[in-house]
Structure 1
Amino acid sequence: MKKIIVSILLIVVSFFLNAQSYIGFLSDNYSGVHGVISNPANIVDSRFKTDINLAGTSVFGSNDYFGINLFDATKDGYSFDSESKKSPLDDNNAALNIDILGPAFMFNLSDKSSLALFTRARSFANINEINGATIASIDDDTTDDYNINEADFSVLGHAWAEFGISYARVLLNNKQHFLKGGLTLKYLQGLGSTYATGNELILNYDADGTDIGGGQTTGSISTSGNITYARYADFDNDDYDYEVPDNSVGFGGDLGFIYEWRPNHADYKKSDTDSITYKYKDKNKYKLKIGLSITDIGYIDYKDGIKEGYNVTNTAVSEDEYDNSDDFGDFLNTFYTRTNLGMGYIIDLPTALHLNVDWSFNSKLFLNFNTDLSLISKDRITANRISNVVSLIPRYERKWFSFYIPLSVIENNGFRMGAGLRAGPLYVGSGTVISAFTSDNNRGADVYAGLKIPVYHSASKDKDDDGIIDKLDDCPKEPGPVENKGCPWGDADEDGLLDNIDKCPEEGGTLENNGCPWGDKDGDSILDNVDACPDLVGTKENNGCPWKDTDGDGVYDKDDICINEVGTVANNGCPEEVIEKLQKTLDDYAKVILFNHGKSSIKEESTEVLSEIIEVLNAYPNASFTIEGHTDSIGSYELNQKLSEARVNSVKNFLVKNGIDASRLIAIGYGERRPIATNMYKDGRAKNRRVEINLIKK
């Protein structure tokens, strides 16, 4: 019996924290595959391509009887019995949890779904409602005797292995509202279990109560009350040849959801001109994240387990009898009355509800609020149970490094303060390390550590600093606009216009035509840029427009000197009588153009006649004329020729000076070559000295 009492005492006075795992680390967005422990939805839309856990261990527990200062306890001469603080109650409690996450990994099936596979070994010990007076009696160094008086108590130890698969999926992604959910299914292998309960148990131990002769004594045990003792079949064997219990399997599951509020959701994705969207998978996008999950739903069925009930009323049982028994079960069956015997029992998992709220101040600083609430009653003696915890965890977080300081209020332990960090593949921490060395009444301590291989999503890069990330940049080493997919604009047709403003980037063109070559819509061989009538076939002389024929006489207006009168081609579009009248008028005027004798200068009295000739020429703006000069034969041939040329040019210059277009006039000097009368007589020579203005017929 003393062995059992000492074992119980060692558990009760052990200094462990609550039955939660990896405090602080699980709040980290870079906890990776560990996220399935608290909420399976964590693994989807994470910051990882994949995450591989090599090994990690978390050990913690709690009691509400003994409290110490761990810093003082490490000093030489520290007295646990005298210097520790004791808090005896009618129902003191203790809990122990060892959680080992073995090889595990997670990976993404797609942008909206992820999968995780993991192995895990766990061990729980729960001791409930032990009277503080019992512990004080056993711990009393003034005597070897002690008394136990327990109305009701329970002790449960359980270890098992898990082989789990988690699937998580994005359920809603509607701009600033994001929801994901996850499910874990676990195959459970029991590794061993035992539990005991007592009702109205009274035990008195007298260290010298049994005389064994020869002046020697041994302890004497007197008991009353009832106990229930259950264990897997090989628990009482003393050969230490451990084997995994047969027929001790079960199934379990976790279910969780996470909502994220993303008011700046548009900042975390980019699209190119082809509407291909790139999402910043390496960035946390939420301002507020709320997670809710239920974990460890299930049980393990120890089908070969043994469950026995005993009435332990007996007096003066020798301690030697206990020491010489094969095992505790053999001792009970020998000295007490078995009231019932059963085969097989079920141990429930420590089902718990988790609420996690995470607020992002910026990309590096976060504040996490977390509650872990047991859904298992203390009265449920065949179930493991976590301790209720409320935590506030400020956190500094980066891809390769995180640091957190969990501030927790723990059931049966009060306020605790710890610290933890993650540096690349290493994670280490404790939810109570600061309190453990600063509080004089520390009733808990915990530690966790492990190694993993994280493979994070790559950060978006922009090598050329053009504002377009390389994944969407067709020219990641050359800056260019988003309209050209990050490439600089070229000049494919080498026409001097960049392709972004060149409407015909494959054809050489001009700036005036937006980089396109000028066309010829009407096919008149005159390019549209110089064609005044680009839709009508015309001529170059008329700027690409067709010539008009106002009077419809077949003579274009440009050649028709009588635009509004029907005429003939021979008469430049005029009726015969108009031409005859025009020519006669010109002949009459020309006869009175007089020159100074032997000179080309026009006499003053001819000015009025020339002005009237100008009026006639202006009346026919499309007509062209020749100005022909003639002389008599007096004088040399050469002199006469020059004189005739000089005189017609004087007339032409007068007309041009007074508004007649020079292109309409042709001045010709004939000299004496074209007489109209004989030069033998004075009268004939006078007729030959003349100037003629003639209409040019086309």
Structure 2
Amino acid sequence: MKRLMLFVIFISITNISNAQSYVGFLTDNYSGIHGVISNPSNIVDSRLKIDINLIGASAFFGNDYIGFNLNNAFSDFNKTFDEAATFPSANNSLAWNIDVLGPAVMFNLDENNSLAFFTRGRAFFNANDIDGNILEKEGGFDENEDFLINEGVISGSFNLWAEIGVTYARVLLNREQHFLKGGISVKYLQSAGHAYIFSDGLSVNYDADSRLAETSGELIFANSSTSDEGGNFDINNGNGFAVDIGFTYEWRPDHANYAKLDANGNSIINKGKNKYKLKFGVSVTDIGQIKNSNGRESTYDLNTTQDIDNFDGTDLEEALEQNFDLISTTPSLNSIMPAALHTNMDWNINSKFYLNTNLDMPLTARNKINANRSMSQVSLTPRYESTLFSLYSPISVVQYVGLQWGAGLRFGPIYMGSGSIMSAIVGKNTKSIDLYAGLKIPFYQNKLKDKDGDSIQDKLDNCPEKPGPAENQGCPWKDSDGDGILDKDDDCPQKAGPQENNGCSWKDSDGDGIIDKDDHCPNTAGAKEHNGCPDSDSDGIVDKEDRCPNTPGPIENKGCPDRDGDTLVDIDDSCPTLAGPISNRGCPEVTVEVQKQLNAYAKTILFDTGKSTIKVESLSVMVDIIQILRKYPNANFTVEGHTDSVGSSISNQRLSEARANAVRDFLINEGIKPNRLSAQGLGEDKPIASNATRAGRKQNRRVEINLIK
């Protein structure tokens, strides 16, 4: 009977889980290489230049079935379990894990990049959904009483493995009060053993009268032993890879207070100080799996009835082989790592006291075959932190375990603590205990000292006891000539002078008898009545205020003349000798009457028949046109040639263009600027009279000169 119960109990308690290691210590900004365990981004912008871990180990045990009094362990160890209180339920759980951080090193490549190498050994065991009543009866079942056990779904695994990893982290954003860093760890995994079990619908029905036990269901069992003589733990059982990735954001409202200056005034970041007021971290760890090269998975048919005395095997695998039919045997499944999400917030209350909150959540399914699963955990950790010493006291709520209160410290190279030691000492029914300890060699970042408070690092400050500006190498400024003006602001530091002249005696730079402070034009000689400024054209307006300093003009025109009296001064007038409106830049405008006169003249221009040659008798008309154009020097015109409809339109077009250009060329030759004239031939397209009559055709053969508006 006892062997049968042990069999049922064993297969009920093999579901792996992982509780956080080094509880409390990982919140420390001086945890160094240990930071990669929870968030790989922790190693960049660290308070450590280099951190070398020699050896460290963390162990955890927790359950919600048995509660023991830790004080009994020190007085009478046997009483610890003999007098322990039990809390059986249909879903009791227990777990243990061991996490060993072996030789590891973290170092900074530069202020924005860091690298770490580490070795680690890990083992985890957890039991979930155990019927605590079975544990209560184990060893005390009455074979003369019937009983029924119905366990439902059972899923669990055990894994032991070693890790060799490398971590890279860098600063992603450093913008005054906003700081972001990220990191990634890649880990090579080497399995030293595994075991897993799965069953859906396992039940045991015992009949006392017949002493027969009826079992039902199917059960999958696997381990890394591949032969009857072989052991379960062999470093060649399988390998794989896993990845951790994390990010950390820091809010630094007082970032300017943590920057010092060198002798040249360049900013130096104080790497030895925590600069954040609030820090937020998020990471996902253990994304990966181990490919099990050794090991077998066996599926057993449990649907049988047999005498309870048949269960005489020494272990689970032997009991299965001797009492149940083997359905199939296949290679072991891969071991899934306990992927977990970690979020973290750290409040820098002041430079020594901090408050940290942390949440760990599993990302693997509860009943996935051969999948390790982490335990959910919420922690609140107040701590005192300094370079050589830190003290922390985490308060946590752990899945299956409940409330825990711990304590830990770091003193130089030594770190030790527990996430549950205080609750174990104070409580009468302690359900969990964890411990960690280790030894490392830390190399701390230098804290920049500034005794005189002038923001210049002491070792670069020429006067570390007296505050002074960076531009004077941290020393106060002198006043060599005793005029009350510091040398840095004194243009003549060796000769006294008034402050309004930057510490120099007054000069008369232009030699006009007026000292520079009273001279409105200190570098140009001028009359006293003009405050030392010249008036070159003697119009009563000094040159610097005169738009036309070399030509006299009235003050209302700012010293410029207006010869044509059109209110537009000559320097702005395109026609300074011809009056015209301002809207036409001081030039006369072409009126409708003038336009009509131009076209009246143009229509009388005669050409040789069928040619573009202007006849001699039209020269007087051309002179009249030129005189009109010269009266309006800023007006532009287009010369248009027109024909009647006699002949082909192509020849008419060519003829009209030739005659228009002939007129334009004549005008240009007589002094009209080329840019004022354009020419185009319109052929027979724009008649002004009917081409059906001789008189109409004569009117259509014409040249027009039109204003371009």
When structure 1 is superposed on structure 2, of 386-395 and 194-203 the one drifting more is 194-203
Distance in 2 (alpha carbons) for counterparts of 1:363 and 1:172: 23
Distance 1:292 1:434, change over 3 A: same
Code of the residue aligned with 1:43 in structure 2: it is: I
> Structure 2 residue aligned with 1:322, among 298, 308, 313?
313
Which residue in 1 is equivalent to 2:381? 393
Distance in 2 (alpha carbons) for counterparts of 1:154 and 1:431: 28
Tell me, yes or no, if the aligned pair for 1:17 and 1:432 is still in contact at 8 Å. Answer: no
Distance in 1 (alpha carbons) for counterparts of 2:144 and 2:269: 71
Tell me, yes or no, if the aligned pair for 2:193 and 2:233 is still in contact at 8 Å. Answer: no
Which residue in 2 is equivalent to 1:49? 49
Which residue in 2 is equivalent to 1:408? 396
Shift in Å, 1:510:
6.0
When structure 1 is superposed on structure 2, of 314-323 and 442-451 the one drifting more is 314-323
Which residue in 1 is equivalent to 2:471? 483
Shift in Å, 1:83:
2.9
Distance in 1 (alpha carbons) for counterparts of 2:8 and 2:346: 40
Shift in Å, 1:245:
2.4
Q: Does 1:39 align with 2:39?
A: yes
Which residue in 1 is equivalent to 2:565? none
Which residue in 2 is equivalent to 1:186? 187
> Structure 2 residue aligned with 1:300, among 284, 290, 293?
290
Shift in Å, 1:338:
0.9
Which residue in 1 is equivalent to 2:236? 245
When structure 1 is superposed on structure 2, of 62-71 and 277-286 the one drifting more is 62-71
Q: Supply the RMSD in Å over aligned alpha carbons.
A: 4.2
Tell me, yes or no, if the aligned pair for 1:198 and 1:226 is still in contact at 8 Å. Answer: yes
Distance in 1 (alpha carbons) for counterparts of 2:199 and 2:30: 46
The answer for unaligned runs of 5 or more in structure 2 is 526-709
Code of the residue aligned with 2:293 in structure 1: it is: K
Shift in Å, 1:175:
1.6
Which residue in 2 is equivalent to 1:694? none
Give TM-score scaled by structure 1 length.
0.65
Kindly report which structure 2 residues correspond to 1:219-234, keeping only aligned pairs within 5 A, or say none.
223-234=215-226
Q: SS in structure 1 opposite 2:89?
A: coil
Which residue in 1 is equivalent to 2:197? 196
Distance in 1 (alpha carbons) for counterparts of 2:236 and 2:85: 40
When structure 1 is superposed on structure 2, of 151-160 and 511-520 the one drifting more is 511-520
Distance in 2 (alpha carbons) for counterparts of 1:170 and 1:29: 16
Larger radius of gyration: 1
Code of the residue aligned with 1:244 in structure 2: it is: I
Which residue in 1 is equivalent to 2:359? 371
Kindly report which structure 2 residues correspond to 1:13-92, keeping only aligned pairs within 5 A, or say none.
19-76=19-76, 79=79, 83-92=83-92
Which residue in 2 is equivalent to 1:256? 246
Q: SS in structure 1 opposite 2:368?
A: coil
Shift in Å, 1:5:
6.5
Which residue in 2 is equivalent to 1:626? none
Partner deviation per Cα, 1:382-407 (whole Å, 9 max, x = no partner): 11112111111111111111111111
Distance in 2 (alpha carbons) for counterparts of 1:139 and 1:75: 27
Which residue in 2 is equivalent to 1:462? 450
Q: Does 1:277 align with 2:267?
A: yes
Distance in 1 (alpha carbons) for counterparts of 2:284 and 2:35: 13
Distance in 1 (alpha carbons) for counterparts of 2:228 and 2:505: 100
Give TM-score scaled by structure 2 length.
0.64
Partner deviation per Cα, 1:233-292 (whole Å, 9 max, x = no partner): 34x65565953124x111111111111111111111133574411111111111111111
Q: SS in structure 1 opposite 2:22?
A: coil
Q: SS in structure 1 opposite 2:295?
A: strand
Partner deviation per Cα, 1:348-402 (whole Å, 9 max, x = no partner): 1111111111111111111111111111222123111121111111111111111
Code of the residue aligned with 1:253 in structure 2: it is: V
Shift in Å, 1:481:
3.9
Q: SS in structure 1 opposite 2:26?
A: helix
Code of the residue aligned with 1:95 in structure 2: it is: A
Distance 1:129 1:242, change over 3 A: closer
Distance in 1 (alpha carbons) for counterparts of 2:457 and 2:144: 77
Distance in 1 (alpha carbons) for counterparts of 2:151 and 2:524: 117
Code of the residue aligned with 1:322 in structure 2: it is: G
Distance 1:453 1:517, change over 3 A: farther
Tell me, yes or no, if the aligned pair for 1:232 and 1:245 is still in contact at 8 Å. Answer: no
The answer for unaligned runs of 5 or more in structure 1 is 211-219, 538-698
Distance 1:196 1:451, change over 3 A: same
Q: Does 1:291 align with 2:281?
A: yes
Q: SS in structure 2 opposite 1:89?
A: coil
Which residue in 1 is equivalent to 2:96? 96
Distance in 2 (alpha carbons) for counterparts of 1:360 and 1:233: 51
Distance in 2 (alpha carbons) for counterparts of 1:18 and 1:432: 16
Q: Percent identity?
A: 47
Which residue in 2 is equivalent to 1:440? 428
Which residue in 1 is equivalent to 2:636? none
Shift in Å, 1:129:
2.0
Distance 1:8 1:461, change over 3 A: farther
Tell me, yes or no, if the aligned pair for 2:17 and 2:126 is still in contact at 8 Å. Answer: no
Distance in 2 (alpha carbons) for counterparts of 1:105 and 1:400: 19
Partner deviation per Cα, 1:306-357 (whole Å, 9 max, x = no partner): 111001335236568624xxx7545533442111211131111111111111
Distance in 1 (alpha carbons) for counterparts of 2:407 and 2:177: 33
Partner deviation per Cα, 1:124-152 (whole Å, 9 max, x = no partner): 11222221122112153988999755223
Distance 1:503 1:7, change over 3 A: farther
Code of the residue aligned with 2:289 in structure 1: it is: Y
Which residue in 2 is equivalent to 1:563? none
Tell me, yes or no, if the aligned pair for 1:106 and 1:117 is still in contact at 8 Å. Answer: yes
Tell me, yes or no, if the aligned pair for 2:311 and 2:319 is still in contact at 8 Å. Answer: no
Partner deviation per Cα, 1:165-202 (whole Å, 9 max, x = no partner): 11111111222111111111111111110012234434
Distance in 2 (alpha carbons) for counterparts of 1:444 and 1:279: 44
Shift in Å, 1:504:
6.3
Q: SS in structure 2 opposite 1:412?
A: coil
Distance 1:439 1:144, change over 3 A: farther
Which residue in 1 is equivalent to 2:669? none
